[in-house]
Structure 1
């Protein structure tokens, strides 16, 4: 857990302010620190408003949220932050420091301060559903959106992709050995020519029917 003094020091870093602005923009808040989920405005910043609102996820399921503020804190999340850091209101300063505390809790504080955007965003998708690295069933921003706001050139393709070979027709056999299980890509429809060198061979999974 980062100390309050660390949060305050981090806020003075220009990269941190860039990240906070990106998160707010990604969340699409129209009333800044006074925004309820769904972009309804509230006025009293004395405490988290704790208004429960329904919404539909991208899978069609109805869910509920108490998200509020510039960084769309859930009420339960905010209560934990207030207890840990002694926040006595929901003021802009408290919200900024609270967001930095969440960034630190995800292990992304140093990444942000050093401008390692790809690494930072990869970690923060678990905290903010609107970031492109998020796995939540909610709408999220593109990497182009991120690059525009950060002035960076993050390439989504730089992230490793895990492919379910079963979806490509591969049926592994259960073995009791610890040796690596080599897959004959020719059985999956790959007709590439083997390379006569020691370099690893990269296969275009699209030729195998993968639509990632």
Structure 2
């Protein structure tokens, strides 16, 4: 089982960015509306974290889950990198681990949990987007106004601020073969999102 995850993970990390199996144009967000700069940033994060044509259902290692009624909470062995030997529950477009999802959903999910003692926040695509959007636009969460930094052209600073959370963004502990392309991807996503916002 571990060798299967190793092969899947290595194939994701070692593919050339020019390999046609890489989805170098991240799929549009399910969420409608919002700041085009933050929407472009969200798509850029997913290029590094979940690079897949079906990013909302992907688990660490490349498998997909069908049930997104809540975070899948499946702990998959980490077979490469600085955390080898541990396991991760990373899932979805933004590769939320279970504890981070529950914490951020408690703060930003638009639909409160339906149970008194059990957090069962929906992990459906729209809610993944909406939680991340609300988090990225909360200046108190990052100690900076990310939308303003992006408008000023400070993508490098934004990626640096986000790297402790999303470690593949260029200043974290797990860069991959998409990391160097992120500025170019961000610009392409921003162009698309700006055009869409003008329609």
Partner of 1:75: 98
User: 1:148 pairs with 173, 184, 189, which one?
Assistant: 184
Which of residues 1, 7, 22 is equivalent to 2:44? 22
Q: Which has the higher helix share?
A: 2
Pairs within 5 Å for 1:94-109:
94-103=127-136, 104=138, 105-108=141-144, 109=146
Consecutive unaligned residues of structure 2, counting only runs of 5 or more, are 1-32, 112-120, 189-199
| Aligned-residue offset at 1:151 | 2.5
Deviation at 1:130, TM superposition (A): 1.0
Q: Distance in 2 between matches of 1:94 and 1:101?
A: 10
Larger relative contact order, structure 1 or 2 (CA cutoff 8 Å, min sep 6): 2
> Deviation of residue 102 (structure 1)?
3.9
Matched, 1:47 2:83: no
Q: Does 39-48 or 26-35 show the bigger shift? A: 26-35
RMSD: 2.5
Moved over 4 A (4+): none
TM-score, normalising length: structure 2? 0.62
- Per the normalisation by structure 1, the TM-score is 0.58
Correspondence 1:124 to 2:162: yes
Higher Rg: 1
1:92 alignment partner in structure 2:
125
* Change in CA separation of 1:74 and 1:112 when aligned onto 2, cut-off 3 Å: farther
- Paired with 2:178 and 2:55, the residues of 1 have a C-alpha distance of 21
- How far the C-alpha of 1:63 sits from its partner, in A, is 2.1
In structure 2, distance between residues paired with 1:61 and 1:85: 31
Moved more, 106-115 or 52-61: 106-115
CA distance in 2, matches of 1:148, 1:65: 29
2:34 to 1, 8, 12: 12
The number of residues matched between the two structures is 141
Gapped regions of structure 1 (runs ≥ 5): 1-10, 153-212
